[in-house]
Amino acid sequence: MHIEVRGRGAPLVLLHGWAMHGGVFAPLAARLSDAFELHLVDLPGHGRSRDSAVPLEPDAVVEAIAAHVPAAPWLGWSLGGMFALRAAASRPGAVPALLMMCSAPRFVRDMAATAPAAASSATVATSADGRYGMSPEVFAGFAQGLREDYHGTLERFIALEAFGSDDARGELRALRDEVFARGEPPASALAQGLDLLRTVDQRPLLPGLEVPSLWIAGRRDRVVDPRAMRAAAEGTPGARFVQVEHGGHAPFLTHADEVAEAIAGFLATP
């Protein structure tokens, strides 16, 4: 698995989102590299890890990354947050803090949470953020699209990521520039990623999370509803929630200074 190391200071691991690679963090890395030693991961099937034998599965990915990075906080954007959260929950000694950026413990809408019938208090507590997920049909549609129109499907997903930002054109341009900058990710890996986004539910991990966490949301995000992130933070001990008011799904591209300040401030807190 390819992991780029740059910068100096305390280590910080960064995990990118679906169809991207570690290079997408360039604007954020430029602002953090004077204070942090950044470990920029290309997830299996993506970027320079496109031929990695590691399966794109939460426990396998966490194990593979943990074997090659020092003890450090993990930051996960979108799909990357799934692995960061699993690492913080399963390896608190090696992952002393968690940063979730535009990422939720469950990406799809929980139909049980929207049902009018009353539920037990335990069920309500674990499903509250599920009201704000995407429709499962959206992910199924992207999966079908990969089989029928690979490039067109990626273009539609990137457009969805950029939509809503106050600099949607700039965000769309940056994402377009990066998506194939390290080669085309195989359709099979992208399909596996979509399946993870559709099926994985890590909300049960939140109440027992032992490390402090920061949840950074874009108020205009159309992929991960900021209300889902706020609800997740409220259900997690020692969590903070920050909202980038004019940010979309990739606020580190359009509001890098604001995001870098939030990250540095959180990690500087004893």
Q: Which amino acids are annotated catalytic?
A: 78, 221, 249
Tokens of 53: 């034998």
Q: Name the token pair of 169.
A: 């054109």
Q: Which two tokens stand for residue 217?
A: 């949301």
> Tokens 């909300």 appear where?
203
φ/ψ of 173, rounded to 5, equals: -65, -45
Ordered alpha helix ranges (H), the chain: 26-32, 58-66, 79-90, 111-114, 121-127, 136-148, 150-162, 168-179, 187-199, 226-234, 251-254, 256-268
One-letter amino acid identity for 265? G
Q: How do beta strands 36-41 and 3-7 pair?
A: antiparallel
Closest C-alpha to 131, from 156, 104, 157, 158: 104
Contacting residues for 133 by C-beta, under 8 A, at least 6 apart: 104, 106, 107, 108, 109, 110, 225, 228
d(CA 114, CA 184): 38
Q: Please give the structure tokens belonging to residue 2.
A: 């390819």
Collect all residues with Cβ–Cβ distance below 8 Å to 244 and sequence separation of at least 6.
Answer: 216, 217, 218, 219, 251, 255, 258, 259
